[in-house]
A and B are shown apart, each in its own frame.
Chain A
Amino acid sequence: MVVLPILWTIALAFQRVRLLDLSSAGFFGEYTLANFDGIFSSQGFWTSLLTTLTYSVLGTASSIGLGLVCALALRNRFRGRTFVRAAILIPYVAPVVAATFVWRTMLNPQFGIVNHWGTRLFGWDEPIAFLSQVSSEVSLLGLEFSVPTALLTVITFEAWRSFPFAFLFLMARLHAAPAALEEAARVDGATPSQRFWHVVLPQLLPTIAVLSVLRFIWTFNSFDDIYLLTGGGAGTEVVSVRVFNALTARGNIGAASAQAIVLAVVLAVLVGLYLRRFSAREERA
């Protein structure tokens, strides 16, 4: 009796794969490689794969970095720590639709609060269309850089939305770290930064590694945020949004499934490589 649900879950897992075959078989008769051929020869897919990679790597790194900084700042007790910790988690649990809508309003060039204060305080010449501008010219030290505005904005949003997750796990790990090690380092005269670098960070590394994998996978597959923020325009079309557009706008189920499969395979390869490297390092350590 108890095994049944499990078997059913497994069946579901396999059914999905079979459904995929069913769908293509049902709609296209023979399953050919034509869809994949179409993907690999078109420019659009590669561009969106590169966008996906950039988005995932930068989004993951910045959210974990931010989470680590917060976890360290909240490590020692202070009045109101419980409140601060709960507040930090709000962006992660809030409905994605509401969060993206607020951001879109805040960044709105006409009446958004960011552009309003930006033009007054930071001397921007004109409002910046954060979510619809592919790139903008920024001059630093006399050099002109082209910055992918919209892509950076969605990466910032991703960091804002998912750093609480990293924070939560790093915080839990920090509390589990034995105090004696740090005490010993302090007695030996290690400064705070040395204590962090040589004592605390090594203990956090396994957690950071797991977080990197999880966050990378989720960011790589994420659809909601970018679809709701930009609709995939302005150079932010990640593969999942592309799949969705192929499925709904063009009704091209074959191309949509093929792209989704390529996405999953690329992800599996990347995560596999990472895990292999990481486990090799573990054995050496």
Chain B
Amino acid sequence: MTSTAQENPKGSLRASPDSRWTRDAVETRLFAVLRWVVIVGVLVVTLFPFYYMAMLSVRSLDEVLQDPGALFVPPSELVISSYQSVLASPEVGGQGFLVFMRNSGLVALGTVAVALLIGIPGAYAVSRLDFFGRRQISALFLAVYLFPSILLAVPLFIFFTRIGLRGSLIGLVIVYVSQVVAVSIYMLRNYFDTIPVSLEEAAAIDGCGRLDTMRRISLPLAMPAITANALFVFMIAWNEFLFALLFLVESRDRWTVSLGLSQLAGSIEIPTTVLMAGSVIVTIPIILVFFSSERLLTEGLTAGAEKG
């Protein structure tokens, strides 16, 4: 093989070893550089907005207006007044984010509890029991999930208005559960499918009933998936905005954090730095939940992706 790269525009053959400018060598070097360009670029693009958020939340508004382009805050200029102002109750001139946090927390935890109560038995049934229309049910679950939420918003809005639950956190929990239960069941079912049936059969031979088997064998084995699912549902419920807006907008003391932030962002008299502090407060729980469970979540979400 003494052919050179020029004679092989397709590059399908090895070029002579002494030429350093073969297509292969050039490409290898080019991609090695490009790879780092991409990595650095993507880090900047993803993290900068959040850095900016944190930075504005600890600067005073005058500073921001005088020097909008500053990329870091000297320690002497750090102020935490924005946080005090955003958390203080409206009676003393704050924004009352503590109440919003409580509401969001209640709604998110409530949604997780109810979704798992329905999702675990449901997923187990779809995975283990043979009953009529089992395959269609899985398809239906996903179909429900892909419905535009705005389409559901209209009837739900009317329905909850009529039964008088609109404006209550309970109503919101019900709506969120109906939104996430399909995904819960789907995620958990995939995991139940991976647990060998033989384990459960062994338990049955040892005299366990079906519920006993579930409690002693299946649930402990499925714990990682259940945890991942709980965190996933928590994030969805904490971040959700449309239904919170439709259902709760009239009564300020029931606003969730997301709703509170969006409502206050429209007003002129609240300084941007205060709202940035609010944004940080909304984001922190999610970041904490996410980083404490990143591995679980990514595995739970992409389970089945390997099969293509």
Roughly how many angstroms separate A203 CA and B121 CA in the complex, as a whole number? 36
Q: Which one, B78-86, B199-207, B297-305, is touching chain A?
A: B297-305
* A 78-122 contacts with B by CB, 8 A: 78, 84, 86-91, 93-99, 101-106, 110-113, 116-117, 120
Distance, CA A22 to CA B159, complexed state (A) = 9
Q: Is the CB of A23 within 8 A of B126?
A: no
Give residues 48-68 of B contacting A (CB, 8 Å). 49-50, 52-53, 56, 64-65, 68
When distances are taken between beta carbons in the complex, the residues of chain A under 8 Å from B248 are none
Given known A-B contacts A5-B118, A221-B148, A223-B242, A98 and B53 have beta carbons under 8 A apart: yes
Q: Which A residues are in CB contact (< 8 Å) with B149? A: 221, 223
Asked if A244 is at the interface (CB within 8 A of a chain B CB), the reply is: yes
Given contacts A1-B121, A169-B305, contact A189 B64 (CB under 8 A): no
List, in ascending order, chain B residues with CB within 8 A of A190's CB: 11-12
B 236-268 contacts with A by CB, 8 A: 238-239, 241-242, 246, 257-259, 261-262, 265
* Range of interface residues on B (Cβ < 8 Å): 35 or more
Minimal Cβ-Cβ distance residue in B for A165: B301
Residue among A19, A91, A175 making CB contact with B46, cutoff 8 Å: A91
Separation of A160 and B150 alpha carbons in the complex (Å): 23
Question: Residue B282 at the A interface, CB < 8 A?
Answer: yes
Report chain B residues within 8 Å CB of A111: 64-65, 68, 272
- Smallest Cβ distance from A58 to chain B, in angstroms? 18
Q: Are B306 and A257 in contact (CB under 8 A)?
A: no
Bound-state Cα–Cα, A235 to B14, Å: 55
Instruction: Give a binary string over B17-57; 1 marks a CB under 8 Å from any A CB, 0 the rest.
Output: 00000011001100100110011001101110110110010
A9 and B118 form a contact (CB under 8 A): yes
A270 within 8 A of B: no
Write out the residue numbers on chain B whose beta carbons fall within 8 Å of the beta carbon of A263: 148, 150-151
Q: What is the size, in residues, of chain A's interface with B at 8 Å between Cβ atoms?
A: 88
* B197 interfacial contact with A, CB 8 Å: no
Check if B151 sits within 8 Å of A260, measured CB to CB: yes
On whether the beta carbons of B286 and A207 are closer than 8 Å, the reply is no
User: CB of A272 within 8 A of chain B?
Assistant: no
List 15 additional A-B contacts (Cβ < 8 Å) besides A72-B38, A84-B42, A168-B301: A13-B143, A16-B152, A73-B39, A89-B290, A95-B286, A97-B239, A97-B262, A101-B275, A106-B52, A191-B24, A194-B11, A207-B305, A221-B150, A224-B242, A243-B154
Q: Measuring CB to CB, which residues of chain A are less than 8 angstroms from any residue of chain B?
A: 1-3, 5-6, 8-10, 12-13, 16, 19-20, 22-23, 26-27, 69-70, 72-74, 78, 84, 86-91, 93-99, 101-106, 110-113, 116-117, 120, 160, 164, 168-169, 172-173, 175-176, 188-194, 203, 206-207, 217, 220-221, 223-224, 227-228, 240, 243-244, 247-248, 253, 256-257, 260-261, 263-264, 267
Q: List 13 A-B contacts (CB under 8 A).
A: A2-B122, A16-B155, A16-B156, A19-B155, A19-B158, A20-B155, A23-B158, A84-B43, A89-B294, A191-B28, A203-B308, A260-B154, A267-B148
Q: Which 9 A-B pairs have the closest CB atoms?
A: A19-B155, A221-B148, A176-B306, A98-B279, A116-B69, A73-B38, A172-B302, A2-B125, A260-B151
